Amino acid sequence: MTPETRYARSGDVHIAYQVIGDGPVDLVFVPGWITHVELAWDDPLEAAFFRRLASFARLIFFDKRGTGLSDRVPVDQLPILEERMDDVRAVMDAVGSERAALMGVSEGGAMSALFAATYPERTAALILYGSFARAGAKLMTQEELDARMHELQQNWPDAIDPSIPAPTRADDEDYRQTWRTFMRHAASPGAALALLRMNSQIDVRDVLPTIHSPTLVLFRGDARFGHGAAAWRHEREDPITPRGEAEYLAEHIADAKLVELPGEDHLPWVGETDPLLGEVEEFLTGVRTAPEPDRVLATILFTDIVGSTALAAELGDRGWRDLLERHHALVRRQLERFRGREIDTAGDGFVASFDGPARGIRCAAAIADSVSALGLSIRAGLHTGECELVDGKLAGIAVHIAARIAALAGSDEVLVSNTVKDLVIGSRVAFAERGEHELKGVPGEWSLFAVEAADG
C-alpha cells in the first residue's frame, strides 16, 4: 500500500513526507534534484527500492521545498543548504525521530554531510550515494551549465533526457513517458531552474573533515571481464557523479567506508539494486551505539561595542551599566530570533553559536541595526568550523578564529571567513572582499569578506 502523505512545518513552508516500515533504525532518505513522494510509487522499480529499505528500517522520505507536494517557493529565492537542513529536522521532529541515519543521494549528499557535521547528536550514520562535495566547475564548465539551464527553461521537461541518469533504460519508451509525467508534476520550469542553479553552487569540502558519524560512501562504476580467449574488458561509470567524487568524499571523512558497486545508472533504484541495498542494510543493522559527540560543526559569532572605553568614561559607572543592560537585552532578543545560543558575555562583547552560517550573518546584521538606536556601533566576526564540546560550551581553534576576525572588523562591520562565505552561496547575502590577513596564533593567511547586504 502507498503510505499516507503528511506535512511538517518548516518555518513558513510545509514539507510533504511519508513514513513506511517499522525497523529498529530510522532512515531519512534525502533525495536528489526533483521528487514527488506519491508519484514515486507509480514506478515499480522505485517502489520496490523503497519497500526494501523499509524492510529493515523505518523509512522517512520527503519532497524538498519547491518540489513535489511540498510548498512552492519563489523561484528567485534559492533554497540554501541551511534551509534544507531545517526541513529535515522539521520532518524528523514531526515523526518523533530523535536520531536517524541519513541516506543522501546525488545533491542530497552534500546537505546530508552538512547535517551530520552540524547535528552529530541526531545523526546515527551517514550514507552517501552518487554524491559530491562540490558542484559547479568541478562537474561541468560554466558554458555547459549555461547551455543546460537555457535548454531547461525553453523545453521543460523534455530538456532532461532520462537516459542520462538511467542509461540502462534508455531504450524503454514506457519509462520515457513515465519520466516526462513525473517531472512535469514534480516541478515547474522555474523551480527546476532555481534548484539547478543552487546545485551548481554547492561546496561543502571544508565541512567533510568535521564529520564523525559512521559513514558509508557508495558509487557505481565497475570493470567487467570475460573469460579465456574471448576475454574482454568493459568499464561503466555513473555519468553524473563519477568515481573521483566518491573517492574525494571517502578520503576527507574520517574512517569512511568506500564501496564500488556494479552498474552505470545514477538513479539508485535503476539497474542492479541488490548490491546497493545489501551494503546499506549491512551497514545500518551492524552499527553500534555511537558515543556521545564531543565535537560539532558550528558558526561562531563575536561582537563588541566600538569605542566602549571612551563611552564608559563619559557616562560614568551607573550610566554605562544601564546602557550595557539595554544593549544586552537587544542582543539577546536577536539571538532568540535567529536561533543563536549565547556562549559567553565578557564586558561589552557577546560570543554566540549558530547551527547555520546564514542565520549567524543575519543575526549579526540585525544586532548592528538594533543597537544603533542606542547610539552604539558594534563590530562582528563569524567563522564556521569544528568546535569541541566542553561542559556544554564550545571551544577550540574555530572559536579563536572567529575572535580574531571580529577584532579586524570596522565600525558597524560584519566580517566573515571564506568558509562562511562559501557555505551561504545562494542565500542572497552580498559580500565585499577584504583581502588576505594573518590571524594571530592561527597558521596561514585567511581571506576575509565584509557583509554588504543580508536579505531577511
Q: Do the strands 341-346 and 349-354 form a parallel or antiparallel pair, or are they unpaired?
A: antiparallel
Q: For residue 132, which of 66, 200, 43 has the smallest C-alpha distance?
A: 200
Tell me if domain 6-285 and domain 295-454 are identical in fold.
Answer: no
Residue 169 confidence (pLDDT): 87
Cα–Cα distance measured from residue 423 to residue 118, given in angstroms and rounded to the nearest whole number: 13
The type of residue at 437 is H
Contacts of 298 (CB under 8 A, 6+ apart): 118, 353, 354, 355, 384, 385, 387, 394, 398
437 half-sphere exposure, CB direction, 13 A CA radius: 20
* Average pLDDT, consecutive stretches of 10 residues, N- to C-terminus, the chain (456 residues): 91 95 95 92 92 94 93 76 91 97 94 94 96 70 76 82 86 86 88 79 90 95 47 58 89 95 91 91 74 79 91 87 91 92 86 92 93 91 88 82 93 93 87 91 90 75
Contacts of 278 (CB under 8 A, 6+ apart): none
Residue 435 confidence (pLDDT): 93
Residue 26 confidence (pLDDT): 97
Q: Cell 559569532 identifies what position?
A: 301
Contacts of 389 (CB under 8 A, 6+ apart): 293, 294, 295, 296
Q: Span 6-285: which CATH code? A: 3.40.50.1820
Residue 391 confidence (pLDDT): 66
Name the architecture of domain 295-454: 2-Layer Sandwich (3.30)
Parse the chain into domains and list their residue ranges. Answer: 6-285, 295-454
